Amino acid sequence: MIKKIRFALFVGLLFVIPFSTVAQEAEEIEEIQDEEISAEELEVEEPSIRSWFNGFIRDVRILITRDSIKKSELQLKKASAQIIRLRQIAKSDLNNEAVQKRLEKSQEKYGNLIDKINNRVEEFKENNADSPQLKNFLDKYTNHQLKHQEILKRIEENVPEKAMEIIRRNRELHLERFGEVMGKLQDKEEIKQSLKENLDERKEEIKSRIRRMEIIEELGEKATSTIKDQVREIEEERKELFQELKIKREEIEQEGKS
Q: What is the pLDDT of residues 129-140, one digit of tens each?
A: 888 999 899 989
Q: What pLDDT is recorded for position 74? A: 96
Backbone φ, ψ for residue 238 (5° rounding): -110, 35
Q: What pLDDT is recorded for position 60? A: 95
Q: What pLDDT is recorded for position 77? A: 95
Instruction: Give pLDDT tens digits along the chain (258 positions).
Output: 554 445 444 444 444 444 444 344 333 434 435 678 999 999 999 988 988 898 999 999 999 999 999 999 999 999 999 999 999 998 888 888 898 889 889 989 999 999 999 999 989 988 888 889 998 999 899 899 999 999 999 999 888 888 888 888 889 888 988 888 888 888 878 888 888 888 888 777 888 889 999 999 998 887 777 788 888 899 999 899 999 999 999 988 888 777
Q: What pLDDT is recorded for position 137? A: 92
Q: What pLDDT is recorded for position 34? A: 63
pTM for the model = 0.80
Domain ranges of the chain: 40-257
